[in-house]
């Protein structure tokens, strides 16, 4: 799929921010009690990243990305990952045409703008590696040829933290390709009531009550350029780099933290912090990035990029706690 921005004569939309706000309002009306998930999906869209969502069944993970697709002028596809899935089921493959005795490439479901990889940890390593190339390089390779994916390409993968039997844990290289690792929890009592009313209304009418003008891909790419133009002070840049450096060697701030960590965040973690903080600031309506923007998204950016050692795990120390301690100890400008 070719973006309309591929033409140099394409006129920029009047207000990408207003269009994105309408999409956000629509998502929050349709996905009740999961504002954090909605925010991370929009930030990933702005930053050109991917999202791994972890949570128990029934917490609107699938509904979230389907609703996002409904609000975008983009193609959506859902893949249920299973142990018998093959890489070609994802990427497509060369198909023989007997009429001219030739092979032609038949694109697979990965050639969509929004891809829901449902229960990604149930797929074997070969399938996961095919997805890794797509997420990291924006292309897939079949045989001797590589094929470019759409310019607007976002993967939202889900995994169930409860059932681990018959699963294939994602390797660190795969996890590092995700911009955010979001953990969703149960909604509040009031949100549960609103969910019941929404589902009842949809069941009676057959369709959702809310409608939204679809956000164009031109708006998305304009918004991405705007986020990259936000002012990032050198002190804020130094702060986010120091957070990543401290995740690897926190001894300068705490001997206890140094005893917990085995591997810290990669340079991609620093890139993710900057892109996520810029998107957070842009969605907040500011033209500059603050330390609070970095702190707001730090846990979801770093959670899957930090490995604790066995001693910390035996003591019940979580990566979340490590990041919270890091944010508390590394001074912000």
Q: How much is the pLDDT for 95?
A: 84
Burial class (CB in 10 A: 0-12, 13-18, 19+), 247: buried
Give dist(CA 74, CA 92) in Å, integer.
20
pLDDT tens for residues 83-141?
A: 888 888 998 888 878 888 778 888 889 999 999 999 888 888 888 888 888 888 888 88
Q: How much is the pLDDT for 270?
A: 94
User: DSSP 3-state assignment of 180?
Assistant: strand
Q: How much is the pLDDT for 206?
A: 64
Q: How much is the pLDDT for 97?
A: 80
Domain 15-200, architecture per CATH: 3-Layer(aba) Sandwich (3.40)
Give the class (CATH, top level) of 230-329: mainly alpha
Q: How much is the pLDDT for 6?
A: 33
pLDDT tens for residues 217-262?
A: 999 999 999 999 999 999 999 999 999 999 998 888 888 888 899 9
Give dist(CA 159, CA 123) in Å, integer.
11
pLDDT for residue 154 is more than 90: yes
Bridge partners of residue 72, in order along the sequence: 215
Give dist(CA 212, CA 331) in Å, integer.
42
pLDDT tens for residues 259-281?
A: 899 989 989 999 999 999 999 99
Burial class (CB in 10 A: 0-12, 13-18, 19+), 313: middle
Q: Which is more confident, 240 or 214? A: 240
Confidence label for 327 from pLDDT (cuts 50, 70 and 90):
very high
User: DSSP 3-state assignment of 76?
Assistant: strand
pLDDT for residue 305 is more than 90: yes
Give dist(CA 296, CA 301) in Å, integer.
10
pLDDT for residue 162 is more than 60: yes
Residue 181: both structure tokens together: 């690792």
Span 305-309, average pLDDT: 91
Whether 15-200 shares its CATH topology with 230-329 is answered no
Residue ranges per domain, the chain?
15-200, 230-329
């Amino acid at each position: 799929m070719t973006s309309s921005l591929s033409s140099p004569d394409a006129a920029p939309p009047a207000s990408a921010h207003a269009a994105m706000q309408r999409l956000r309002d629509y998502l929050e009306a349709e996905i009740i009690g999961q504002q954090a998930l909605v925010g991370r999906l929009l930030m990933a869209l702005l930053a050109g990243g991917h999202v791994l969502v972890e949570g128990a069944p029934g917490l609107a993970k699938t509904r979230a990305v389907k609703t996002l697709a409904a609000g975008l002028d983009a193609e959506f596809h859902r893949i249920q990952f299973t142990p018998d899935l093959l890489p070609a089921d994802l990427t497509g493959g060369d198909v023989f045409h007997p009429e001219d005795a030739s092979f032609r490439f038949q694109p697979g479901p990965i050639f969509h703008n929004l891809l829901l990889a449902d229960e990604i940890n149930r797929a074997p390593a070969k399938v996961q590696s095919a997805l890794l190339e797509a997420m990291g390089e924006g292309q897939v390779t079949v045989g001797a040829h590589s094929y470019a994916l759409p310019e607007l390409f976002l993967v939202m993968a889900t995994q169930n933290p409860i059932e681990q039997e018959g699963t294939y844990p994602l390797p660190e290289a795969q996890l590092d390709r995700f911009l955010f690792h979001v953990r969703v929890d149960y909604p509040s009592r009031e949100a549960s009531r609103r969910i019941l009313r929404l589902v009842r209304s949809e069941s009676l009418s057959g369709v959702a009550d809310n409608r939204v003008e679809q956000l164009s891909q031109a708006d998305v790419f304009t918004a991405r350029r705007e986020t990259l133009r936000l002012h990032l002070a050198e002190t804020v840049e130094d702060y986010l780099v120091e957070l990543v450096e401290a995740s690897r060697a926190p001894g300068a701030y705490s001997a206890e933290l140094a005893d917990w960590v085995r591997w810290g965040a990669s340079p991609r973690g620093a890139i993710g912090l900057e892109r996520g903080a810029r998107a957070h600031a842009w969605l907040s309506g500011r033209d500059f990035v603050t330390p609070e923007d970095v702190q707001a998204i730090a846990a979801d950016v770093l959670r899957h990029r930090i490995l604790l050692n066995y001693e910390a795990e035996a003591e019940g120390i979580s990566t979340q706690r490590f990041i919270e301690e890091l944010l508390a100890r590394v001074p912000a400008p």
